[in-house]
Amino acid sequence: MRMRKIGIKLSCFMGMALWLSACAAPLPAPLPRLEEAQTGAKKEVSPGLIPQEYLCAGGLQEAPDPHLVQEIQAFLEENGMLGGVPSGLASDLPMVLNGPVKAYLRVFTTSHKVVFASYLARSGRYLPLMLRIFREHGLPEDLVYLCLVESGFNPWAKSPAEAVGPWQFIKDTAQRYGLRVNGWVDERRDPEKSTRAAAHYLKDLYRQFGCWYLAAAGYNAGEKRVEGTLNRNNTHDFWELAQRRLLPQETCNYVPQLIAAALIAKNPEKHGFQGISYQSPWRAVRVKVPGGVDIRWFAEALAIPFETLRELNPELLKDRTPGDCQEYLLQIPTRDRSLANIVAQICWKEKN
């Protein structure tokens, strides 16, 4: 009898878990807001961003008994069945196919197909590096497509709000996560360093909210704004917040954009993207050189185009390594490592 009761409670809890798991900065122009995506097309979304019929599968009509929830949660925690959520990290980003996601799937594969295809092509350069870093941090791999939504994988992207780089960090957040921003460098543009900062930030957001959708919302709108909205409205369901328009419209659109982008990027042929010419993966190593080295001269010494060295070091704001430091790790093509070490030694001798 006791096992039967536990089985019933466990079934209830799993339904509740599905409901909870469904909860989890702006897309650069010319990708549209949801309202614009539906202009001139048959609308699938009724008034309100997310109508009731599109709520995630497994949603409950009534909130579960809180005492029952606590009892089942305690039972599962004692038996190691909860996987450490939310103090740990969930392994997957929940995929939902509701009205807003369908709307973005449609627009990404029709009116904005050329733009989206260019983002997919550029992803070939940076995605292997970013996925490796996200795996190191135990983050859901699909979360890397926030970079597609944020910047189209463009290190030189800059928003009207002064967010910079592939992960579109504002200056304060970037410096909080260890990125240098000064007159010499803007490490928000460094694909590796900014991805590591984004991984740390997303982990912190997940630990704060216990939900990847809310973590993404916090990345877009700021954690304080999302936290205040949650506290005022006594809910941790992103879709409910979006349906009730309790978050900025931009943020309500952000999560559907992420899901749609991930679904297409992981299977582009299924969505009509044929023959994408992906850029070659980022292959670079860092060589220690003195501060103040002219990188045009360094490129000439390596017999490579200056543009190549510039592309590998997008964080540099001048045509030389930072003059405010004794040494700098300059990125050069992996194939030129041996020659670069020799050139670097010459630089050190000249400085001394």
Q: What is the mean pLDDT of residues 149-161?
A: 94
**Cβ(292)–Cβ(258) below 8 Å:** no
Query: Which has more confidence, 138 or 93?
Result: 138
Mean pLDDT of the chain: 80
SS3 136: helix
pLDDT tens, position by position, 66-79: 555 455 555 545 55
Global pTM reads: 0.75
pLDDT for residue 350: 83
Q: List Cβ neighbours of 332 (8 Å cut-off, separation of 6 or more).
A: 284, 285, 286, 287, 302, 309, 312, 340
Structure token digits, residue 187: 């490490």
Q: Given this model, what pLDDT does residue 78 score?
A: 53
pLDDT of residue 70: 56
Q: For residue 336, how many other CB atoms are within 10 A of its CB?
A: 19
Structure tokens at 87: 């103090």
- Domains in the chain (CATH in brackets) are 2-271 (1.10.530.10), 284-351 (no CATH)
Judge whether 9 and 48 are in contact, CB under 8 Å.
no
- CA-to-CA dists, residue 165 to 183, 192, 193, 228, 345, angstroms: 16, 11, 11, 27, 31
Identify whether the C-beta of residue 174 lies closer than 8 Å to the C-beta of residue 125. no
What is the three-class DSSP state of 199?
helix
